[in-house]
Structure 1
Amino acid sequence: MGSVVDFFLVGFPGLSPDFHGLVSALLFILFLSIITGNIFILVFVQCEKSLQKPTYMIFCHLALTDLAFGTVTLPKIISKYWFNDSIVSFYGCFAQMYFVHFLGATHSFILMVMALDRFIAICAPLRYTVIFTNATVSVLCGISWLIPSMWMVGLVVYALMLPYCNSNVIVQCYCDHIAITRLGCENVYEVQVVAFGLALFCLLVPLGFIIFTFFAVIIVVMRSSSPGGRSRTLSTCTPQILITSLFYIPRCFVYLANNIGFHFSTSVRVAVVMLYSLLPAAVNPIIYCFKTKDIKDSLRKRFHLRKCNVTRIA
């Protein structure tokens, strides 16, 4: 048995070579959407003084995780189908694995910060501007980046210590922990149990907090005497609910399906993982723009001013 020196990415199993060009084009369009949409959000919030508030600072952190995740995962799989480049170096694959799980955990914790933002805004509106400032958001989001970055180093080093001496074929579109460690020769179960426990913590702790705040918000809103006030208050939660649902529901469905004995075929599993990993990164900027009143109003003003300027010039 020889040591593995690089890995081979399979991508979508069973995909006919006739569709490689189409798939690479679709993935490239997805990549451009992620890059364009999330950079737009980052730049627009920074340039628009009226949006430099806690809620939109959180949106920027989410956009940054989405931007980074797309940049880490998509170029290699696009290269595979566009240039038939399927080889990933040994340490390059572990580096990608680190960023895949680090960014996923960070996104989850930032969603928890977003839930806290809405919880305080609705349940303690008079104290919101005192409790939840931009500085508070920076600290909480900074912790959300810092803690997973340290955890994931340990996870990657633990996986790196496994001997890899059999297959080097990764049946996935990017290097993730399960796909890599299942290729190890020994002690695989122990490494995967540790990783699974950490993944559950990063997923379920934020999700549990988000569910708690959601029900607390509903109780407070239902006690409101004004139906119009209820509607307006709930509408402010719409972007957060959509963004959170896009992130958690597919993941919980896949984990639950696996635990109750329902197994997907390999090709379906890879497609589902790609969808829930990357589609939200492309969709989230649209939600920010069209489901958030302040951003919509700012965009409308910008376009109106530009239209007026063009009319004057004409």
Structure 2
Amino acid sequence: MLLHVNFSASNTTSPPVFLLTGIPGLEALHRWIAIPFSTVFATALLGNCTLLYVIKTEPSLHKPMFYFLSMLALTDLVLSLTTMPKMLGIFWFSAQEITFKACLVQMFFLHSFSIVESAVLLAMAFDRYVAVCNPLRYSSILTNSLIAKIGLLALARASGLVLPLPFLLRRLPYCRSHVISQCYCEHMAVVKLACADTTFNNIYGLFVAFFIVALDLLSVGYSYLRILRTVLSLASKEERLKALGTCLSHICAILVFYIPVVLSSVIHRFGHHVAPHVHILMANLYLLFPPMMNPIVYGVKTKEIRDRVLAAFSCKRL
């Protein structure tokens, strides 16, 4: 049974633990909900580990596109491992307690690697732009050195933007309920429990979210406008289809990542009459869906990966 514990108004220290409720209103169904969540988690782990193994062991895949895909798979693994073990612990064993420090650590990895994923998708859009619009200089532009710098820049940007959040939260007093109506520690869910002026936290959180979504989506959109312009200038229909085909997997990955983010944001801000468990399920969707779907999309749509995986399974059967 969920315990609601309130701190006295005079207690300005951080709480020893928070309680994660899971999905409010559906507590009786937690064990049943855990079944599809466990399936999604297992699929994400298997798919992303397979992608990394195939790319590492197949020399023909040691190309910029697949290096970026490796970054995406690593990011998805971190996101899954950051949230899913605790989430499944809540569903299977009612392990709702999480220490304040562990909550901040989970929040840091959750938000920072979500930003990293957005940056990697932007880098992949740049990769497709160079491949379609400037193919003769592809290998000279996207060198291993540049790819490594892009990966480090993505990590540095995410860490720099998210690192202030835990320190800002540590300074706040928590004298209200320490129950988080979520499956994981998310910035705004923790901010709501503070009994002090949180205006700066709210503004900074909105700034980070708007900055990342606006900057990255506009940059991706600009890349694809240039790609579309180049594709339409190609002489034959076969050339146009081939050029667009090289972008299809990346377009699917962008839609898989951003559509749940936008839907969750819209429901959170305008769906005042939507049941709380719908809000929570939508918030979980944008964390669970991309790590599961990205390996499937690239495994099905990318011939080099599909052939390598099929060959590996054929060898095992023999």
Unaligned 5+ runs, structure 1: none
Pairing partner for 1:297 from 303, 307, 311: 307
Structure 1 residue 276 and structure 2 residue 316: aligned?
Answer: no
Report the TM-score when normalising by structure 2. 0.92
The one-letter amino acid paired with 2:96 is S
SS in 1 for 2:18: strand
Unaligned 5+ runs, structure 2: 1-7
2: CA distance between counterparts of 1:305 and 1:169? 52
Does the CA contact (< 8 Å) of 2:268 and 2:279 recur in 1? no
Bigger mean CA deviation after superposition, 25-34 or 215-224: 25-34
Structure 1 partner of 2:74: 64
Structure 1 residue 206 and structure 2 residue 216: aligned?
Answer: yes
Report the CA distance between 1:27 and its aligned residue: 2.0
Taking the TM superposition and a 5 Å limit, the aligned residue runs for 1:5-44 are 5-17=16-28, 19-44=29-54
2: CA distance between counterparts of 1:221 and 1:212? 14
2: CA distance between counterparts of 1:220 and 1:202? 27
Structure 1 partner of 2:3: none
2: CA distance between counterparts of 1:292 and 1:41? 11
Report the CA distance between 1:256 and its aligned residue: 4.1
1: CA distance between counterparts of 2:271 and 2:19? 28
Structure 1 partner of 2:96: 86
Report the CA distance between 1:52 and its aligned residue: 0.9
2: CA distance between counterparts of 1:165 and 1:47? 54
Structure 1 partner of 2:122: 112
Pairing partner for 1:76 from 41, 64, 86: 86
SS in 1 for 2:98: strand
Root-mean-square deviation (CA, aligned residues, Å) is: 1.6
Report the CA distance between 1:189 and its aligned residue: 2.3
2: CA distance between counterparts of 1:47 and 1:67? 19
Does the CA contact (< 8 Å) of 2:17 and 2:100 recur in 1? yes
Pairing partner for 2:176 from 146, 157, 166: 166
2: CA distance between counterparts of 1:188 and 1:80? 28
2: CA distance between counterparts of 1:8 and 1:303? 44
State how many pairs are aligned: 306
SS in 2 for 1:37: helix
Report the CA distance between 1:157 and its aligned residue: 0.7
Report the CA distance between 1:148 and its aligned residue: 1.0
Distance verdict in 2 for CA 1:119–1:74, change over 3 Å: same
Report the CA distance between 1:24 and its aligned residue: 2.1
Structure 2 partner of 1:242: 252
Report the CA distance between 1:16 and its aligned residue: 4.2
SS in 1 for 2:19: strand
Pairing partner for 1:45 from 30, 35, 55: 55
1: CA distance between counterparts of 2:162 and 2:231? 39
